[in-house]
């Protein structure tokens, strides 16, 4: 290598080396932020699969019964008159459920609305109930805890029914077991009582109800 070649290489060596280092560091800095969170991906996929899964009714009413690991807590209702009526109805439902349990049979209220036998998925039900898609995550959390997205879920002790476990079941306009009716009622309650689904979720989780 002659003197001119060495001089020319020396002149370009520093910029080339600088670019190489910058490129390496750039890849090192950008790469971690480009890698998706594995857990976030798993949670997102599980959520999407859950809310788009087609509902299939259980073959027996016993399979619809919910045996909660924690006591059923009725949310405070600003309408005192209705609250009193609901408490009385819940007491009657509890007595009927205990009597049925003692007899080894699931509680069946003669005046209860018919169970849901239609189809659809949670995503379709939430959309039909007028719930904003931005709130679906909050609704999914609550419905998953309350009923595992089974429209026919019935609390074995209290008689609470449906996706969001209305207590008593008759408080839902229409049919408490109809997923759209149940979610429409729950949407009005969550927004009317707490201001939004997000605030309802925050209140419920802060009180360790789930």
User: pLDDT category, 42, cuts 50, 70, 90?
Assistant: confident
Residue 25, pLDDT above cutoff 50: no
Rounded-to-10 torsion of CA 64, 70, 149, 127: 140
d(CA 59, CA 208): 33
Q: Would you place residue 108 in the very low, low, confident or very high pLDDT band (cuts 50, 70, 90)?
A: very low
Distance CA 22, CA 28 (A): 10
H or E segment to which residue 65 belongs: strand 65-66
In which band, very low, low, confident or very high, does the pLDDT at 127 lie, cut at 50, 70 and 90? very high
For the chain, report the end-to-end CA distance as a whole number of angstroms.
Answer: 77
For the chain, the domains span 3-35, 42-206
Helix, strand and coil content of the chain, in percent to the nearest 5, comes to 60, 5, 40
With bands split at pLDDT 50, 70 and 90, how would you rate the model's confidence at 74?
A: low
pLDDT tens digits, 152-176 = 999 988 889 999 999 889 889 999 9
pLDDT at 1: 53
Residue 128 has pLDDT above 80, yes or no: yes
Overall pTM > 0.75: no
pLDDT digits (tens, 9 = 90+) for 141-157: 999 988 999 999 999 88
Which tokens sit at 8? Answer: 């020319």
């Amino acid at each position: 290598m002659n003197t001119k070649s060495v001089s020319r290489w020396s002149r370009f060596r520093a910029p080339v080396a600088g670019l190489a280092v910058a490129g390496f560091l750039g890849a090192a800095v950008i790469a971690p932020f480009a890698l998706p969170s594995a857990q976030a991906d798993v949670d997102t996929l599980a959520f999407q699969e859950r809310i788009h899964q087609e509902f299939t009714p259980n073959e027996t009413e016993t399979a619809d019964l919910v045996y909660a690991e924690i006591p059923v807590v009725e949310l405070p209702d600003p309408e005192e008159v209705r609250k009193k009526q609901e408490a009385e109805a819940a007491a009657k439902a509890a007595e009927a459920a205990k009597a049925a349990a003692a007899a080894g049979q699931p509680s069946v209220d003669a005046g209860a609305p018919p169970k849901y036998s239609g189809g659809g998925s949670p995503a379709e039900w939430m959309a039909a109930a007028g719930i904003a898609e931005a709130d679906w995550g909050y609704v999914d959390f609550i419905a998953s805890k309350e009923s595992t997205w089974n429209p026919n879920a019935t609390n074995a002790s209290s008689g609470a029914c449906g996706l969001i476990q209305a207590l008593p079941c008759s408080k839902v306009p229409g049919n408490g077991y109809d997923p759209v009716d149940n979610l429409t009622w729950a949407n009005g309650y969550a927004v009317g009582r707490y201001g939004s689904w997000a605030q309802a979720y925050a209140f419920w989780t802060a009180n360790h109800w789930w």
